[in-house]
Amino acid sequence: AWLTVSPASGSAAPEGIKVTFSTAATDSDYSSEVYVNCAGKVQVLTVKQIAGPVEIVISTCKDVIEKGVDGKIYWVEGQVTSIVQTTYGNWYLNDGTGTLYIYGTLDAKGNTQNFLSLGLAVGDRVMVHGPRLTYGSTIELVDVTVDKITPSLIKTKVDEVEVPKEGGTFEVAVLYKGNGLEIEYDAEWLSVRSMIKGADDSTRVAFVAQPNPGGDREATVSMTSATSSSSSTIQVTVSQKGAIIDATVAQFIAAAEDATQYRLSGIITRDTGNDYGNIYIKDATGEVYIYGVLDAEGKTKQWKNMGIKEGDIVTLI
């Protein structure tokens, strides 16, 4: 065998165990997968001995999600689209083929809980590598190592804005280093009112949101700045509350899947019996499955304490 691993096994050690991989000199390329089993979990290490220059294989997010193997280490490269937690470094990376959740980011010395030292920001382009993990229905790369950061040409302090249903004007301050600023949005109820350069070199972009006569709605604003050699894009999500729509069950089922809230009334035809309140209600137009009911205080898992039963007529939002 071209690869020796020592020790090959061991007992529990809170302080950790040093495992040594040894190879002899070679004129040929070798590759093996080493399966590390610990506490019921498996991590797959790909050990390679390359006689020539080492080439890193970049995987797409789509391939990691759809074809990847848990425990195997993957290299991915893309844009930071959202940062969720800044102690451990939990964030989302998009490479144009899909979005991966990054759960934990090591600092330059390989330490955890020091994410801010990297200076990573939304819009930056980054290459990372780490082991794949399936957590529930989410595919993640865990405790990744950052290989390369290309700072974004454009930055903003907010990535979400909420406007009232009455509409109005709101501003987003943008700092860009490229040759101009391009703005796109995917909703007719939004428009750009003005762009004013501030004393701090930021550009204040004023948007106008029209009043919302319907249900809750959401739009995405994309802002891009580019040079002759590179381009950076950031996105801001704009959400606007709306009216609650009274609907029959048939109208609700036929409606588009979005953030709109509906008010339904009907008789409970079946109670599945769990604490969350997963029930079926029916009116003259059809029947629909309700996945969870909150109590008056907005709490979950209170269904059995609410005194509602099959045969009761309920109105739900």
Residue 53 pLDDT > 80:
no
Confidence of residue 261 (pLDDT cuts 50, 70, 90): confident
Confidence of residue 39 (pLDDT cuts 50, 70, 90): confident
SS3 of the chain: the string is: CCEEEECCCCCCCCCCCCCEEEECCCCCCEEEEEEEEECCEEEEEEEEECCCCCCCCECCHHHHHHHCCCCEEEEEEEEEEEEEECCCCEEEEECCCCEEEEEEECCCCCCCCCHHHHCCCCCCEEEEEEEEEEECCEEEEEEEEEEEEECCCEEECCCEEEECCCCEEEEEEEEECCCCCEEEECCCCEEEEEEEECCCCCEEEEEEECCCCCCCEEEEEEEEEECCCCEEEEEEEEEECCCCEECCHHHHHHCCCCCCCEEEEEEEEEECCCCCCEEEEEECCEEEEEECCCCCCCCCCCHHHCCCCCCCEEEEC
**Closest by Cα among 288, 254, 251, 239 to 268:** 288
Confidence of residue 23 (pLDDT cuts 50, 70, 90): very high
**% of the chain at pLDDT higher than 70:** 99
Confidence of residue 294 (pLDDT cuts 50, 70, 90): very high
Q: Which is more confident, 179 or 54? A: 179
**Closest by Cα among 29, 53, 59 to 131:** 59
Tokens of residue 291, six digits: 């996945």
pLDDT tens column, 117-143: 999 999 999 999 999 999 999 999 999
Amino acid code (one letter) for 119: G
The pLDDT of 264-279, averaged and rounded, is 95
Torsion angles phi and psi, residue 129, rounded to 5? -140, 150
Query: What structural domains does the chain harbor?
Result: 3-49 (no CATH), 61-150 (2.40.50.140), 154-240 (2.60.40.10), 245-316 (no CATH)
Residue 15: the pLDDT is 82
Q: Is 40 left (phi over 0), alpha (psi -120 to 50) or beta?
A: left
The pLDDT of 248-260, averaged and rounded, is 90
Residue 207 pLDDT > 90:
yes
Residue 215: the pLDDT is 84
Place of tokens 């939304």: 122
Residue 100: the pLDDT is 98
Confidence of residue 1 (pLDDT cuts 50, 70, 90): confident
The pLDDT of 232-260, averaged and rounded, is 91
Report how far apart, in Å, the C-alpha atoms of 101 and of each of 37, 98, 104, 273 are: 24, 10, 9, 34
